[in-house]
Structure 1
């Protein structure tokens, strides 16, 4: 599945990066953001029963919000919400080691991105599943 077939893919990535900059210099920042955007697009497409390349442009802000919420709630980028993405901390000369991206991707796969906050928005674009 090519997530870049969503016409607003680049806009979503750009907006997410503006909302959640790499303030902690996480070396996996780019790949975590990209993967989370792809998950959000996939989850929205699945929920709406719509192929990715047919998702309406009007869903761009919902996908941005959904992605930002996933990243922020789980603290995968900087550990400010919780320390689940930090592998180790050394106090002398301050050193922070982040979890491997594969651990974060594994966690991300188990998360249900479509919360009640987004159902009302997505229901307006939802199609009946094909028989």
Structure 2
């Protein structure tokens, strides 16, 4: 069901987190380390989630633990998400039978990644910034 799209989008976002850059050679090791972040945790922003059949839907992940999206039928959805044990779990508002957890693959250089739900659905997720770069390059 396409209401699951919102959940898929969030899971996809999980793969968008990037590792911290390597410190420059001149930096000293005496500096306090950066706080650790959860690898694979959702990165706030706007995304396009594409299903195996080619259907694409917009999705937004917010820093406050909420998400929103619109499916191809024009139906808006929203809810909350949590990240634990390498999975992003999305809960709709109100909760429904499509709520599930997603495991994201490592992101490509442009931030695009795939995500698989606990129900076996696979999606491709692309950040809006990558899409903007494609438009500018055309």
TM range (shorter): under 0.3
Report the TM-score, using the length of structure 1 for normalisation: 0.27
Higher helix residue share: 1
Q: Larger strand proportion, structure 1 or 2? A: 2
